[in-house]
Structure formats: C-alpha cells, structure tokens
Amino acid sequence: MWVNRLNLMSILLQLACANSLQQPHILLMIADDLGYHDVGYHGADIFTPNIDKLANDGVILENYYVQPICTPSRSQLMTGRYQIHFGLQHSVLFAPQPHCLPLDETLLPAKLREAGYSTHIVGKWHLGFCKYECLPTSRGFDSFYGYLCGKQDYYTKEVSGFLAGWEYSEKFKGYDFHDNLKPAWEGNGTYSTYLYQQRALKVIQDHDKNKPLFLYLPFQSVHFPLQAPQKYIDMYPNIKDHNRKIYSAMVTAMDDVVGAVVNELQKQNMWNNTVTVFSTDNGGQTLQGGNNWPLRGRKASLWEGGVRGVGLVHGAGIVDKGRTSTELMHVSDWFPTLLHVANATTSGTKPLDSHNVWDAISSKNGHSPRTELLHNIDPIFKRPYGPTPPMTPYPNKYGVNTLWGHTALRWLNWKLYTGDPGYESIDPPPTMYRNQTVDTTCLVSGGYHPDCKEPIKAPEPVPSVRLYDITADPSENVDVAKYFPMIVDQMLEKIAAYNKTAVPVSWPGGDKNCDPALQDDVWGPWM
C-alpha cells in the first residue's frame, strides 16, 4: 500500500512538472558584436562568470551560426526565414532609410503573444522604424524600452545619422532612447547597460505569474563606441591594448546584467521554469577590441569568424545538461524552436527556412534536422574599407556568377564561397603588452592603415570559388576546391537554386525627412 502511494505521488509529481513545462518562461539574450573568443568558456581573459555558469550548467552550441552583421541576424531570428526571402540581404538598416523588416512578415513575439505570452523587449531593435507600424510594439511586443538605431552613445543616447552607405554623415543627430512610444529622457547620462538591467528586473517583478513571460534582451554591449564605467575598466590593469581593455570591461558589465536577471528570476520563483538562450548577433569586430580566435575573419565577413557564434541554452526541459552540442544550428532556428518550447505553432507564417532543433538541444541523443545553411547571397556587396581582391570567374553550368558580391553556403561539413567573403585574416588575441588603437574612420577614408602614411598594397589575386572542410579545418586554412570538383559543382547548383527564390535587394537611399530636428531632436517614425 505504501509503495503504491509512493508510485502515485511520483506519477503526480511527473505530471505536475510536465504541465509546468508546457509553457515555460523564455529569456532570449543577444549580445552585440561579441566575438567567438570573448567569453570565459572559450578561453578568453575576460571575466564572464555568469555566462560561463549558464554554459557549464546548460548546453554549449559549438556548431551554431549567426549572420555577419546586425540587421540580418535579428531579422532572421524574428522571422525564421533567410534574408534573401524578404530583401534584407545587403548591409544593415541605417537610421535615415525609409524601410523596415517587411510588414507582411510574422515575427516571433507576435506568435508567442498568440500563445498567451507576455512579450517584452529591453534593448536594441535595429529592424527599421520609419513608420509606426515598424516599431516593436506594432510587431508583437507588449512593451519596448531601448533604442531603434544600430548604434548610439552609451551615456548620451545620441545617434549620428548615416546616409545609406558606409560614409559617415553628421547631418542628422538626435536622441534615441524610448519607453514604448515616448522618448525616455531620463536615460540621458546613465550607462545603458545599467538601464537595461533596471528595466529587465522591473519587467520580471511586475509580471503576472499566471502567464508565461517572453523577455527579449538584446544588449547594446559590446558594439562600439567603446565605453564602460571606470570600475569595470579597473578590472583589467594588465591589458595594455586600449580597445581590448575597454571592450573587456564592457563584456564584464554585460555579464553582470546576465547574473542580475537570473537572480531576479530565481527570487520570483520563475527560474526553474525558464528556458534561457544567450547568443551573439555576429562575430566580433577586431577593429574595436573583439576577437574570434582561432577563426578567420571578423564582423561583416562570411568567414567563420564573422558567422560562427557564441551560443548556449539553459533551463527547463533540457534532459542532458552540462554538455557541448556540435549539431548544426542557425540563428533563424530559434523561431520554430522557441515556438515549440512554448507549445505554440508556426501556422500562418510564410514558408520557413529554419528548423526546430529542440531535440538536439534537450538530449545528447537528439539530432538537428539541418544539413545545410545559406549564409547569404548579396549581389551588391562591397567592402566597407580596403581594396577588394581581384578574382577570375569560375566556369559552371548553373549560371552562378562567381564574381558576385558575397555568397557562402554550408552543406554537411563543407563550406563554399563565391565572390568576396570579406576581411579574411586570422587575428590572435591582443597581447597584454600591445598598445594600439585602431582609428576606423582612417580605414574608411581610403584604405590607409592608421600606423602608415602609405595606402595598403593591392591584395594578391584570389580564386572566385573556394571550398573548405569546416569540420577538419575550422580556421579555413586550406582551400580544397581543386581536390573536390564534384562537391563544388553540387554546391554551385544549390546556390543557383537558392538564388532563384531570392527577392530583389531592398535597400533604399536615405530620406532627409527623417531628420530628428523635425521631431524635437528625437529619432522616430517620420512617414
């Protein structure tokens, strides 16, 4: 009789746990420009104890990919679709551009809200804001606290407008910090990372515990400008490289917010029923203190250093914890995966390019259904600085112009490039004794290195098609295209097929009507 009661209690407990996990809280944290080598669990000399704890107690994703730059990663995260299918395959959205993530795309928060979630964004949007319909609270979020543009001053919240392109323009300046539809002037003067911590904690404290919570926390950190409170800078007295010192301080400040949010969820008795995702949006910018060692390339390149992301999952529903997964995953996969976790559906969306990878995350015996990944096809790509290497076309029967801007495809263990993948050096971590500050405006202005008075020498010619075995050669040291012509042929055929489904690039020029001076010096919708 006593044994039967124990069995009954065990069954009831299992049922209660199963019910509690039907709709767990979801915490989705996105770091901005965080390099592959810039977390403690990847060997960095940067203090990230809270991120490391989540990683060590959860699942580290070591075959996980993002896009090379901000807007493309965020747009694919929110839609579960490749950027070639909604026209954002070129560059990021700049503040004066009259464009946003197309309004006929269904976004993740909207689907979660349909499923009963409270949905909140605290941090960076960067998916366009020319119309009110483009704003976060019009795309599925119950509340928005943060900024709309791609970058800003961490203290003043001022944004200088860009014309559509990589050339700087000081014509437009304005304040970009918002509490829903109103400017949050009280944020002026306070380090933004602190503000995001305060608001994230308030969202958790005020949350109705009878509903599941979706908290999207896209940090400003660690995107330039390099700014950090002095107490964090003082934690790195042995780093002599100026950029690396400030960058490291910014990473640690962000890590403290991660810890504070976790502690608050624990305090509110929500943590045990929370699924947490932490990811970067793209590779680190080595010109601004980031590092992607031992990978080749940096932010804005299709090389592994630009697209292989820091990623981890922690929390409810994970059976096998404290492990590393090498299953192939992509930032777009969070769309169907988190909807699955939320017991929601993908019905009503456009055709997805993403996969539900929860089985691969939750169990060591699970596998990702993803076998290939289109990193991008950008037909109008141009390097933002420095000369483009000369190339010769690669004859093929599929009509793929191999001189075409910026294309990369992953298939199984293979990765194929056509055109210009972007900056391709492998940058070792800055030494403690190096003392160099890179002036990016100097590089932008004409191909000059800041330490030299002469232009950078023209690069040597490179093949227009390159193939790498990413599993065997993650640093992409050996181009094996000439040894595997059949693989090259198959992958060019796949690229041609993808290109047939692509919509034209939508990247309009800047609109002078965006000028914040016309709206009380605040960036916001103008159409």
CATH number at residue 393: 3.30.1120.10
* Apex 268 CA angle, 267 and 269, nearest 5: 90
pLDDT of residue 41: 98
Same domain, residue pair 321 and 383: no
Helical residues (DSSP H) of 278-383, grouped into ranges: 304-307, 334-341, 358-362
The helices-and-strands tally (H runs, E runs) of the chain is 12, 20
Residues in the chain where the model's pLDDT stays below 70:
1-21, 162-170, 385, 404, 431-460
Q: What percent of the chain has pLDDT above 90?
A: 81
Same domain, residue pair 437 and 304: no
pLDDT of residue 163: 56
Same domain, residue pair 202 and 344: yes
- Single out the residue of 300, 305, 286, 287 nearest to residue 477, CA to CA: 305
Same domain, residue pair 111 and 224: yes
Domain boundary among 346, 371, 396: 371
* Residue 126 known to be catalytic: yes
Q: Which of 42, 70, 223, 355 is catalytic?
A: 70
End-to-end C-alpha distance for the chain, whole angstroms: 73
Question: How many Å apart are CA 442 and CA 119, to the nearest integer?
Answer: 42
pLDDT of residue 431: 55
Same domain, residue pair 284 and 345: yes
Domain boundary among 310, 345, 371: 371
Domain boundary among 371, 397, 421: 371
Q: Which of 126, 178, 375, 406 is catalytic?
A: 126
Question: How many Å apart are CA 525 and CA 128, to the nearest integer?
Answer: 9
pLDDT of residue 389: 78
Tokens of 355: 């996969």
pLDDT of residue 260: 99
3-state secondary structure of 15: helix
* Residue 70 known to be catalytic: yes
Taking each helix axis from N to C end, the angle separating 192-206 and 242-267, rounded to the nearest 10 degrees, works out to 10
- Single out the residue of 182, 92, 171 nearest to residue 135, CA to CA: 182
Residue 171 in domain: no
Domain of 419? Answer: 374-501
